[in-house]
C-alpha cells in the first residue's frame, strides 16, 4: 500500500522543530528513525500532512559520559546504544535490552527518543531504564523539563509529553555501589517479534543479604511497569519463601491482556517464571 502524500519539514535546530510542531499542531508529527511511524502511515492507520524531520538537527545523536551518569541523545540509534563503550561499561543491562529489539537493520535506524515516544507497552528499553531511575529530558514551547521515566508513560501510545514537546535526551544515573542488574526477555513467537514480556531487576546486596530490589516489567500492563512494595526483601537472604511472596506482589500489580503471544493466564505464569529467574541470577543462585 502506498503512503499518502505529506510535506517533509527539515528544521536546523530543536527550537525551529518545536516552532514547526506548534504551528501545524495535530497535522504534524516529529520523525526520527521512522521505523514505526512510516509503517503505520503506509498501512494508513495514521496520516500527518507534515512530518518534522529531526535527522536534519545536529547534536541529538550523541552518547556522553558525565560525572553522575550517561546521557543518550534522542536520535541515537538502538545499534549505537547496543555497541557504545560507555553504556556497555556502566550499564550492560541497557546494552542487552537494546540488542534484543527487532533485528540489526531496525536497530541501525530506530532512535531512542522515537522508541520511548511511541510508548508501546511491549518495548524492551523501558524496564531497565525504570529500574535504573532514568530521566527523560524534553524541550517544548514552554521551555525545558525533566521527566522521571516512571512518570513518562501514561497509557498505550500515550506519554507525558505536551503538544510541541520533543525528547532531547535520556539521562541514566550511575548504578548504586554493590548493585547488579539483569534484563530477561521472553518471546513466544519469533526472536524478532515483540516480546511476550520483559523483566528487568536490580539488586543491592551486602553480606549476602538484599538491601534493595527493583523490578520492572514490560508487556503485561498498559504501560511499562515499575513494581512497588518490594521492601519485604530488605535484609533477607533470598529463599523460596521470600521469592514466593515477591511473586505474589508482582502478580497483584500486572494486568496482562490476551493476544497472539499468550493468554492472560499464560502471561501471568511466564511472569512468575522470569521474575524468579532474574532474582536467582542476581542472588548468584542457579535458575531452574
Domain architecture of the chain: domains with CATH: 7-54 (3.30.43.10), 63-173 (3.30.465.10), 179-282 (3.30.390.50)
Q: How many CA atoms lie within 13 A of 205 on its CB side?
A: 16
How confident is the model at residue 34, as a pLDDT? 85
Rounded-to-integer distance, Cα 258 and Cα 265, Å:
8
How confident is the model at residue 288, as a pLDDT? 44
How confident is the model at residue 205, as a pLDDT? 84
Contact status, residue 140 vs residue 165, Cβ threshold 8 Å:
yes
Tens place of pLDDT per residue across the chain (288 aa) = 678 899 999 999 999 999 999 999 999 999 998 888 888 888 888 899 999 999 999 999 999 999 999 999 999 999 999 999 999 999 999 999 999 998 899 999 999 999 999 999 999 999 999 999 999 999 999 999 999 999 999 999 999 999 999 999 999 999 999 899 999 999 887 766 788 999 999 999 887 788 999 999 999 999 999 999 999 888 888 888 889 999 999 999 999 999 888 899 999 999 999 999 999 999 876 554
Helices then strands, each counted (H, E), the chain: 10, 14
For the chain, strand residue ranges (E) read 7-9, 28-31, 50-53, 63-66, 69-73, 135-140, 143-148, 153-155, 158-159, 166-173, 179-186, 197-206, 209-218, 225-226
Rounded-to-integer distance, Cα 94 and Cα 88, Å:
8
Residues 6 or more apart whose Cβ sits within 8 Å of residue 14: 57, 60, 139, 166, 168
Residue 134, classed as helix, strand or coil, is coil
Nearest to 120 by CA among 22, 4, 63, 35: 35
Residue 122, classed as helix, strand or coil, is coil
C-alpha distances in angstroms, 75 versus 56, 106, 234, 240?
A: 11, 14, 39, 43
> What are 273's three cell numbers?
517464571
Grid cell 504501560 is found at: 223
β-bridge pairing 225-226 and 63-66 = unpaired
> What are 144's three cell numbers?
525545558
Amino acid at each position: 500500500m502506498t503512503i499518502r502524500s505529506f510535506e517533509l519539514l527539515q528544521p536546523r535546530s530543536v527550537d525551529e522543530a518545536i516552532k514547526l510542531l506548534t504551528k501545524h499542531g495535530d497535522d504534524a508529527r516529529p520523525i526520527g528513525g521512522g521505523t514505526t511511524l512510516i509503517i503505520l502511515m503506509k498501512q494508513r492507520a495514521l496520516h500527518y500532512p507534515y512530518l518534522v524531520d529531526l535527522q536534519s538537527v545536529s547534536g541529538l545523536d550523541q552518547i556522553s559520559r558525565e560525572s553522575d551518569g550517561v546521557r543518550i541523545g534522542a536520535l541515537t540509534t538502538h545499534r549505537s546504544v547496543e555497541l557504545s563503550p560507555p553504556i556497555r561499561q556502566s550499564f550492560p543491562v541497557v546494552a542487552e535490552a537494546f540488542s534484543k529489539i527487532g533485528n540489526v537493520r531496525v536497530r541501525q535506524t530506530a532512535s531512542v527518543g522515537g522508541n520511548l515516544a511511541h510508548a508501546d507497552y511491549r518495548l524492551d528499553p523501558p524496564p531497565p531504564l525504570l529500574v535504573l531511575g532514568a530521566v527523560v529530558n524534553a524541550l517544548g514551547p514552554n521551555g525545558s523539563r525533566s521527566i522521571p521515566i516512571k512518570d513518562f508513560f501514561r497509557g498505550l501510545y500515550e506519554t507525558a509529553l505536551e503538544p510541541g514537546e520533543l525528547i532531547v535526551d535520556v539521562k541514566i544515573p550511575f548504578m548504586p555501589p554493590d548493585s547488579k542488574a539483569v534484563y530477561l526477555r521472553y518471546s513466544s513467537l519469533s526472536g524478532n517479534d515483540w516480546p511476550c514480556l520483559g523483566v528487568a531487576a536490580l539488586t543491592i546486596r551486602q553480606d549476602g543479604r538484599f538491601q534493595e530490589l527493583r523490578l520492572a516489567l514490560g508487556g503485561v500492563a498498559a504501560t511499562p511497569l515499575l513494581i512497588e512494595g518490594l521492601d519485604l526483601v530488605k535484609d533477607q537472604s533470598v529463599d523460596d519463601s521470600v521469592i514466593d511472596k515477591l511473586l505474589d506482589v508482582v502478580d497483584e500489580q500486572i494486568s496482562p491482556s490476551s493476544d497472539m503471544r499468550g493468554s492472560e493466564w499464560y502471561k501471568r505464569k511466564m511472569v512468575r517464571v522470569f521474575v524468579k529467574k532474574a532474582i536467582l541470577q542476581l542472588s548468584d543462585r542457579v535458575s531452574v
